[in-house]
Chain A
Amino acid sequence: MEYGNSSVVTTVLPQFVSDHVALEIKNLVVEYRDGVQAVKNISFSVPRQAVTAIIGPSGCGKSTALRALNRMNELMPGTRTTGEVLFHSKNIYDPNVDPVTVRRHIGMVFQKPNPFPKSIYENIAWAARIHGLTDNLDDLVESSLRQAALWDEVKDKLKKSALSLSGGQQQRLCIARSIALKPEIILMDEPTSALDPISTASIENLIHDLKQQYTIIIVTHNMQQAGRISEMTAFMLSGDLVEYAPTNRLFVSPEDERTERYITGRFG
């Protein structure tokens, strides 16, 4: 990957200090049914139109933290979330907020590509139709697929089953499906961990392009990936947010000793 992030960090940081915050997380705690705290009181701000990576060893709570940002943890009965996630200065956990609307604006891409067992076209059109984006549905499908860098590969087989695509194509279709709804934020939960290196590279390129328009928060266990694609990196360890800093500062001169040990490969 050629695109470095040294220049980006210096430009993002001053903006970041101002009101260019997409999401502000305050004292977030997520507790499972068995009482285990998967996420212990973390707070950080996510810059707008940039890539924020969350790294950490397996089981550190990074996926749980990510899924708390569009209330996906609620699919698991018994999960309890406290603290605030401010989106446009409104707490998405406010009792008046409908989680369905939250997810409409904060989309998600999962670890394993999970296209619907429908046609490629329907994969994108289905949710768009439910949200009333019905005029020029064909255009919407095309532009979403173009943004996801998939159009040229699938334009002649839109009616074919999405399950006939390769893993990497399926994952880009899932990204297209998500951006068709014009979300502000896209959460990505280890989106390349099930893919081969070539598909991984194409998804990383795509993420690089997408951040012009979207705010991206990505969980990855691949530190090199975080280094390649993100402006900000958060390091989590057993539910705690150990360090949150611009990516190249975190990787070059981490402040916390645990971060340093992790990124130099001494554990995890």
Chain B
Amino acid sequence: MEYENQFEKSANRTRRHRKDKFFAFSLILPGIIVLAILVLILIMLVAKGVKAFNPDFFLSVQKPFGVEGGGIVNGILGSLLIMAMASLISIPLALIFSVTLIEKKDTRIARLLELCLSSFQGVPSIVFGVIMYSWLVVPLKSYSALSAAIAVSFIMIPTVSATIKEVLLLVPSSYKEAAISLGVPRWKAMTGVIVPSAMPGIKGAVGLGLARIAGETAPLLFTAFGNPFLSLNPSKPVSAMPLIIYDYIKSPYADWHEKAWGTALLLVLMVFALTLSISARQKNAHPR
């Protein structure tokens, strides 16, 4: 009976269609909500921040209280300095850790390392700021870009290690077999074949790590501290974009509020550009 009717629109059939539409929509809905919030944030950032954009904003340093004008170049370069130093610290360590996790899989050292890295990911970032404050800032009697770079490295290393590990696991095991069968030591197989063939993914992992730390404010409060002058000295206090946002938005001046929005917009654009360049790179990577 049902078979005979299967091409006709029965009441049963329309109900099924309606149910199907309803469930499909309820699956899409959360996505739409998240996207809408993201778009709203972007619109607000652009509306409030773009007014601050002028050559002076990008090219000159902060002006003191009450003085009109000035820019955030000290913050931009300070952030870049901290990110560059954090990369120098984090990338080699993350590579070593992720290779260890794979090569020593199922050993005690790998399990311990994995546990440490994932615990670090759960630590609130301000804790790393406090730790570096007592380890470096107090003994050296100076806030410094270096202490900030190490503090954010605590955040970057676990993120990047975990991602590189996943990327290395994607390299076909036949590459390793081939290298080993040529009488090549394991570590050379790793450095000569496996790591190079995972390079696009490794660059992506580093980019993700940088995007992660670019907006970190808490670890910088007691380490980089901020600096109204342009400084690229690793052992001296340095400004950073999140610190400028933090300082300016609490201030009572409309001019500074505008600059805080501008800085926020610029920071988001920088992270956005980083993320886009990663996904573009991954698309270009040869599929295999």
Contacts and interface: CB of A to CB of B under 8 A. Distances in A.
Interface string A91-133: 0000000001111110110101011111000000011001100
B183 A112 contact: no
B182 interface: yes
Interface string B119-159: 00000000000000000000000000000000000000000
Which range contains the number of B residues in contact with the other chain? 20 to 34
B188 interface: yes
A218 B182 CA distance: 17
Given A110-B174, A117-B286, A131 B183 contact: yes
Given A101-B183, A181-B183, A114 B175 contact: yes
Contacts of B193: 116, 118, 126
Contacts of B184: 100, 127, 130
Interface stretch (A20-28, A70-78, A139-147, A197-205): A70-78
Nearest to B107: A77
A166 to B, nearest CB: 15
A118 B192 CA distance: 10
Interface centre among A72, A115, A117 (most CB of B within 10 A): A117
B288 interface: yes
Contacts of B288: 117, 163
Contact of B181 (A107, A118, A126, A130): A107
A63 B243 CA distance: 62
Nearest to A161: B286
A101 to B, nearest CB: 7
Contacts of B286: 117, 161, 163
Interface string B183-197: 111001000110011
Which range contains the number of A residues in contact with the other chain? 20 to 34
Contact of A104 (B172, B179, B183, B192): B183
Contacts of B179: 116, 127
Contacts of A126: 192-193
Interface string B176-218: 1111111111001000110011000000000000000000000
A174 interface: yes
A4 to B, nearest CB: 31
Interface centre among B105, B106, B178 (most CB of A within 10 A): B178
Interface in B35-70: none
B287 to A, nearest CB: 10
A62 interface: no
A172 B176 CA distance: 19
A75 to B, nearest CB: 6
A130 B193 CA distance: 12
A163 B174 CA distance: 14
10 contacts: A72-B180, A77-B105, A110-B181, A115-B178, A116-B197, A117-B197, A127-B184, A130-B188, A178-B182, A181-B182
Interface of A: 70, 72, 75, 77, 100-105, 107-108, 110, 112, 114-118, 126-127, 130-131, 161, 163, 174, 177-178, 181
